[in-house]
Structure 1
Amino acid sequence: MEEIENQRMTHIAVERNRRKQMNESCCAQGDQASIIGGAINFVKELEQLLQTMEAHKKTKQEPADVSGFSSSPFAEFFAFPQYSTRAPATEEESVVDQNQWSMADIEVTMVETHANLKILSKKRPRQLLKMVAGLQALRLSVLHLNVTTVDQLVLYSVSVKVEEGCHLNTVDEIAAAVNQMLHRIHEEETAFSQN
C-alpha cells in the first residue's frame, strides 16, 4: 500500500513539474495572443507549402491549361468560387458569366470581421503591389498573404480584416469588389503597354 502511495506522489510531483515547465515556456515566448499568432502563421506557411507541392505535382502529371478552371493546378483549392474563368457548362451559366465576367478565379470565405480570399490569375507585372493597395483602399487590412506560382499562373491566399467603415459586408460583395479591382489593374496595364 505504501508503494502505491509513493507512486501516486511521484506522479503528482512529475505532473506538477511538467505544468510548471510548460507555463514558464509559454511566458518566455510571450502572451497568449503571440502564441496564437505564431500558430496561425505556422498553419499559413503549411498551407502555402501544400499549395505549392500540389500545384507542382499536378503540372507534372498533366500540362496546365490556363483557360480551363478544372485543369488548373490550383483547381482543388477552390470549393465554391464566386467568380471563375472556366467556360460555362450551360447557356444559363453563360448569361450569368456575361454579367460577372471574371479576370480571375475568386473565392471568399468570411468569419465575423475576418475574410480569406483565394485569387487565381495570370501573372501580371506589379499586380501584387496594386492588389494590396486596392485592398487597403477598400478598407480590407491584409493580415497574411501567401503567393504561389506555377508557370504563368499565380495563386494569392490573402487573410484580411474588414475594417470599420468598410461597406463590404458579404463574401459576394468582397468577391465583386476584388474582381472589379482586378479589371482596373488589367485595364491600367493594357493602357500603359499601348503608350
Structure 2
Amino acid sequence: MSHITVERNRRRQMNEHLKVLRSLTPCFYIKRGDQASIIGGVIEFIKELHQVVEVLESKKRRRKSLSHSPRTPLPPPPAPATTMKEEESVGASASCNSSVADVQVKISGSNVILRVISHKIVGQVSKIISVLERLSFEVLHLNISSMEDTVLYQFVVKIGLECQLSLEELAVGVQQTFCDQKMLTSTG
C-alpha cells in the first residue's frame, strides 16, 4: 500500500471517529464542526460526566452511612487554626460532612474552590452566596450539576483582603446554611 493510501485511510477513520464522538455528545457542547471544537466539546462533556459520577458516589456513600449509623449532629466549629492567607502557599483543604450535605474547601492559588454536594433545596445557592459575601469572599465562578434529587455546587471564590477565616471555618459556615434550612423544614 502506498503512503497516500495509508494516509487517506487514516483520515477517513479519524473522520468516522469524530462523527461518532459528535453524535454521542449533546449539541450545546460543540459550537462548530471543526475537529478541535468537537474534541474540546467532548472533553467538557466528559468532565461534566465525571462530576455527575462523583455526585452519585457521594449520594451512595451518604445513603450507606445513614442506613448504618444514627444521625449525628453537626460537629462544633474547630478552634481557629491558620487563616486562608497563611494556608495559600500550602494548598490546604478542609471538609465538613453531614447527612444533609458534604462541603469541601480547597486553596487553589489565590482562590478557594468550594464544592458542595447535597439534596436539591430551593434557594440554597443564594444562601451559600450570601454567606460567602458576608465572609468577605467574591464569587468568581459557579458551576451547578444535578442528577435526580442530588446537586453539586462548585464555586471558585476570591479571598477578600479582610478575610481572617480558616478553611475549616468556611466549610462549617457553608454547612450551617443547610442545617438552618433543615431546622426550618422540620419545624414548619
TM-score by length of 1: 0.50
- Does 2:176 match 1:180? yes
Alignment partner, residue 131 of structure 2: 134
SS of the residue aligned with 1:160? strand
Assess, with a 3 A threshold, how the Cα gap between structure 1 residues 47 and 139 changes in structure 2: closer, same or farther. farther
Identical positions, percent:
21
Q: Distance in 1 between matches of 2:60 and 2:75?
A: 16
Taking the TM superposition and a 5 Å limit, the aligned residue runs for 1:19-168 are: 49-54=45-50, 66=59, 68-69=61-62, 86=65, 102=98, 103-111=100-108, 113-168=110-165
Q: CA deviation digits over 1:12-58, x for unaligned, max 9? A: xxxxxxxxxxxxxxxxxxxxxxxxxxxxxxxxx99974453236678
Which AA in structure 2 matches 1:54? H
CA contact (8 A) 2:52 2:146 kept: no
Q: Distance in 2 between matches of 1:133 and 1:159?
A: 15
Alignment partner, residue 29 of structure 1: none
Q: CA deviation at 1:134?
A: 1.7
Bigger drift between 146-155 and 47-56 goes to 47-56
Assess, with a 3 A threshold, how the Cα gap between structure 1 residues 159 and 128 changes in structure 2: closer, same or farther. same
Q: Distance in 2 between matches of 1:125 and 1:96?
A: 23
Which AA in structure 2 matches 1:129? S
SS of the residue aligned with 2:61? coil
Q: CA deviation at 1:148?
A: 0.1
Q: CA deviation digits over 1:153-188, x for unaligned, max 9? A: 0000100111122221x3222211211232223334
Q: CA deviation at 1:88?
A: 10
Q: Distance in 2 between matches of 1:49 and 1:69?
A: 26
Gap runs ≥5 in structure 1: 1-44, 72-85
CA contact (8 A) 2:97 2:103 kept: no
Assess, with a 3 A threshold, how the Cα gap between structure 1 residues 89 and 181 changes in structure 2: closer, same or farther. same
Which AA in structure 2 matches 1:175? A
Q: CA deviation at 1:140?
A: 1.4
Greater relative contact order, per chain length (Cα 8 Å cut-off, separation 6+):
2
Instruction: Report how many aligned residue pairs link the two structures.
Output: 127
TM-score by length of 2: 0.52
